[in-house]
Structure 1
Amino acid sequence: MKKALVMLASAVAMSGAFAQASAPVAASSGTAASAAVAKGGHERNVEDRIAYLHSQLKITPEQETQWKTFADVMRGNGETMGELFKQRRAATTVSALDDMKQYATIAQAHADGMKKLVDAFDPLYNSFSPEQKKLADVTFRQHGGADGRSRHHGKGKSDKSAPAAASDATVKP
């Protein structure tokens, strides 16, 4: 049970990366223009992460087909999570039960999205050279999963116990 709670908390914490950029803009004004700006910021963050990973992993021209599949899944996951967080922010007066249901929906969408991401990453990772595999291993361990959230949460080494660190490993590709 504890492992499940740790995984759920990790999943929702990682999902927050997709909502962070749009939250301040959307909250500042209720206009359609601010919603468009917020969406643009969110999409820019996803595209920035895709560009960073492409460069960091030294994707070759031969790997572009697998890369495109992986990047498209990242975009789709970002859109899904962005929309769910937008709906959550819009629901200003919800019961505790409704709040828990929203949380469960977000956690399930994140789990489903991670499964799709792993499925898309598998053939890409298998096409990597040994050097690229090392880069991927370090990149995803240091900076979190494909969404970019750090497992270390800032300063120094992680103070997580081994079981908590192991549960994090099950959530990222």
Structure 2
Amino acid sequence: MKKALVLLATAVAMSGAFAQTSAPASAPTGASASASAPAAQAGHERNVEDRIAYLHSQLKITSAQEPQWNAFADVMRGNGQTMGQLFQQRRAATNVSALDDMTQYATIAQAHADGMKKLVDAFGPLYNSFSPEQKKLADATFHQGGPEGGRHHGKGGGKKAPASE
């Protein structure tokens, strides 16, 4: 179950943005857990922003494409925030029953599906504005790395796609 959760997080994580959100075997509790939450959130936000910057550069976004890009990037940020909150809630939960665990997982999976739909809807207008060269770059980048560019399905272990292909 934990491996499936990590794979789901990787798919949503924009190249590992949620790698730190999978619950460790001995998760901190009490004051230490609440003290580490702001640091984890800051790291998570930095990873999302790093992924956005990487894709902006990789896809060679033009100034004319900035409005569509900004809409897409905002969806990435929103998805990241939603998933970050769900994983933080999951880490904070203690003494959960099997039913509670499965319910949390279903909530995360549904949020992932909803987020992907929003991401696809935001990416369509951006992709349609791309030049043929940009479409080739996008096709190669996203094919290698999944919808947000983070590798999953057993290929590459969460590494970013090479900067030039």
Provide the rounded CA distance (Å) in 2 between the counterparts of 1:147 and 1:90: 28
* Contact 1:22–1:41, Cα closer than 8 Å, also in 2: no
Residues 1:20 and 2:19 aligned together: yes
Among 99, 102, 113, the residue aligned to 2:101 = 99
CA 1:9/1:33 → structure 2, altered by over 3 Å: closer, same or farther?
Answer: closer
Shift of 1:23: 5.4
Deviates more, 1:139-148 or 1:34-43: 139-148
CA 1:116/1:148 → structure 2, altered by over 3 Å: closer, same or farther?
Answer: same
Provide the rounded CA distance (Å) in 1 between the counterparts of 2:72 and 2:99: 35
Shift of 1:21: 2.7
Quick check: which one's helix share is greater?
1
Q: Percent identity?
A: 67
Among 67, 72, 75, the residue aligned to 2:74 = 72
Provide the rounded CA distance (Å) in 2 between the counterparts of 1:11 and 1:32: 24
Return 5+ residue gaps in structure 2 as ranges: 158-165
Shift of 1:20: 1.7
For residue 168 of structure 1, what is the aligned residue in structure 2? Answer: none
Output the TM-score relative to the length of structure 2: 0.79
For residue 3 of structure 1, what is the aligned residue in structure 2? Answer: none
For residue 35 of structure 1, what is the aligned residue in structure 2? Answer: 37
Aligned length: 148
For residue 142 of structure 1, what is the aligned residue in structure 2? Answer: 144
For residue 163 of structure 2, what is the aligned residue in structure 1? Answer: none
For residue 113 of structure 1, what is the aligned residue in structure 2? Answer: 115
Shift of 1:15: 3.5
Matched to 1:19, the amino acid is F
- Root-mean-square deviation over aligned CA pairs: 2.7
* Contact 1:11–1:111, Cα closer than 8 Å, also in 2: no
Shift of 1:30: 1.6
Shift of 1:35: 1.5
Residues 1:87 and 2:89 aligned together: yes
Shift of 1:91: 0.9
CA 1:85/1:22 → structure 2, altered by over 3 Å: closer, same or farther?
Answer: closer
1:31-70 equivalences in 2 (<5 Å): 32-70=34-72
Structure 1 runs (4+) deviating above 6 angstroms are: none
Provide the rounded CA distance (Å) in 2 between the counterparts of 1:123 and 1:130: 14
